[in-house]
Amino acid sequence: MAPVPSIQWFPGHMTKTRRMMEKDLKLVDLVVELVDARIPASSRNPEIDKLVGKKPRVILLNKCDSADEAATKRWIEYYAREGVPALAADCRSGKGLGAFLPLVRKTLSELLERRAAKGMAGQPIRMMIVGVPNAGKSSFINRMAGSRRAKVEDRPGVTRGRQWVSLEGGIELLDMPGVLWPKFDDPLVGERLAFTGAVKDDVLDIELLAMRLLWLLREEYPQMLSQRYKLKDGELDGPDAYGLLELVGRKRGMLISGGEVNTERAAITVLDEFRSGRIGRITLEQPPEG
């Protein structure tokens, strides 16, 4: 098996973002934390818990259409046991977002009742949107706002400054740039973030990353892998990690002079097709038992 890559990526603007979050938390009623439904644990920044404290929070499991539906349900049940309301959604298509504002109002019911009793029912609900890079914050805001208010690109690090967005019904969203953390104590966390595109590809060994992903998919989702790359019975059984990458490249005809496989091209293809959901609905992490 290929070794776990050491992945660390913490641009300077992320330190600035963390300071902004600490300062701006007092301006909002609730924090909306976007996580990637395919890696709900690894895509939660542990520093968010420290920053948010007891502020009400809602977790949005984004990209649910690319995740294993049964696993997503188990994650929502797990968060409920932890006392945090959660919702599955796909922010690009808008799936699931119709339930978002009702969930927010339910979560803030005591605050809203207090405001109503004081004659302040019309005061806007203010929410801070947080998450790791490429979690889908801009897509979420654009869907909720009904317009392309926030810049959307399928790569990390696009949103650099915070911005307020007003919605209908007295809702105001504060969008923060994506925040990773200074050091991934568990190398598998950095790897999973890299699988999904939360870490810039140009700081990674793409071929090693694709080899690790193929190895994991062979263990957890062999049928999807075989179906996507038209593998015959038994073809997944023998190869090592590099052999798996070569196998995919050969199946796709990615050959160079001498009949060798262009493994860099194969690696880019594997990662792109995983990230876009074309290999199938895959979740790489399961919630703790209990």
Amino acid at 158: V
Q: What is the pLDDT of residue 9?
A: 47
Q: What is the pLDDT of residue 133?
A: 78
Decide if 242 contacts 234 (C-beta within 8 A): no
Q: What is the pLDDT of residue 152?
A: 42
Q: How far apart are CA 166 and CA 178, in angstroms?
A: 20
Q: How far apart are CA 166 and CA 182, in angstroms?
A: 32
Amino acid at 93: S
Write the CB contacts of 104 (distance below 8 Å, at least 6 apart in sequence). Answer: 30, 32, 58, 125, 127, 171
- Regions of the chain short of the pLDDT cut 50: 9-13, 150-160, 182
Q: How far apart are CA 109 and CA 152, in angstroms?
A: 32
61 - beta bridge partners?
Answer: 35, 88
Q: What is the pLDDT of residue 2?
A: 58
Q: What is the pLDDT of residue 202?
A: 77
Q: What is the pLDDT of residue 150?
A: 47
Decide if 12 contacts 255 (C-beta within 8 A): no
Q: What is the pLDDT of residue 248?
A: 96
